[in-house]
Amino acid sequence: MSQTGDDYHSPNYLSWRKLQLSRAKLKASSKTSALLSGFAMVAMVEVQLDENTKVPTAMLIAFAVCTTLLVAVHMLALMISTCILPNIETVCNLHSISLVHESPHERLHWYIETAWAFSTLLGLILFLLEIAILCWVKFYDLNTTAAWSACIVLIPVLVIFIAFALHFYRSLMTHKYEVTVSGIRELEMLKEQMEQDHLEHHHHHANQQTV
């Protein structure tokens, strides 16, 4: 990468770091979305229901709606990742920070964050709900205890998942805040140093004129 260590706080380098982060998010989103949407489609196709099934109609509707939402959310995240990632990969493979402005990661920042949120947070929650509903649809005619057991196991997992997501989000926001405050302090110190150097240069020039 054509960049010296003295320019690590330059705008181009900060934009390059955002570019690498956006690239990693899009790669993770595309892999997760493709995997989970495939599982959801297989679950919907492979589930076998008899005409005389005792599964409540509301449960079947919930299964159909949850599966459709799950596939749609992941397909949207996959589409965003597929469309944006090649443009970012092209700039990343050039290994030149001076060309970072050619990447659309700044302009399409909200699309990247939407794909990341859909693929990880919303998509995974829907996938957990899909498992719970699928257990009811699959085991309702055989043994309702098995369906209840699956729900009992999934409830604490869902709670832990949501708690981790909130904790991770808060920690990430705190880290970004601390980095921003540190950057502002560095800029203030740089400004004070520049003003001090300017005053010293002005006094030195005035003394030379006096002499």
Answer for the pair 130, 70: CB distance below 8 angstroms, yes or no: yes
Per the domain annotation, does 114 fall within a domain?
yes
Give the separation between CA 197 and CA 37, rounded to whole angstroms: 60
∠ CA 159-145-148, rounded to 5°: 20
Find the range with the poorest average confidence among 9-23, 145-159, 176-190: 176-190
Structure token digits, residue 19 = 């570019």
Per the domain annotation, does 68 fall within a domain?
yes
Give the separation between CA 193 and CA 82, rounded to whole angstroms: 46
Per the domain annotation, does 20 fall within a domain?
yes
Mean pLDDT of the chain: 79
User: 154 is in which domain, residue-wise?
Assistant: 12-47+54-94+103-209
Structure token digits, residue 60 = 């079947």
Nearest to 63 by CA among 151, 125, 129, 133: 133
**Mean pLDDT along residues 153-167:** 84
* pLDDT for the residue numbered 74: 92
pLDDT-derived band at 207 (thresholds 50, 70, 90) equals low
Question: With 70 as the cut, is the pLDDT of residue 3 above it?
Answer: no
Per the domain annotation, does 112 fall within a domain?
yes
Per the domain annotation, does 77 fall within a domain?
yes
Structural domain total, the chain? 1
The backbone region for 122, taken as left when phi is positive above 0, alpha when psi lies in -120 to 50, beta otherwise, is alpha
**Mean pLDDT along residues 137-149:** 82
Per the domain annotation, does 150 fall within a domain?
yes
pLDDT-derived band at 206 (thresholds 50, 70, 90) equals low
pLDDT tens profile 20-76:
888 888 888 888 888 888 888 888 888 777 777 787 888 888 888 988 999 999 999
**What is the domain-level CATH number for residue 90?**
1.20.140.140
Per the domain annotation, does 185 fall within a domain?
yes
Per the domain annotation, does 5 fall within a domain?
no
Please enumerate in sequence order all residues whose Cβ is within 8 A of that of 134, keeping only pairs 6 or more positions apart, or say none.
43, 47, 63
pLDDT tens profile 99-133:
777 777 778 888 888 888 888 888 888 888 888 88
* pLDDT for the residue numbered 55: 79
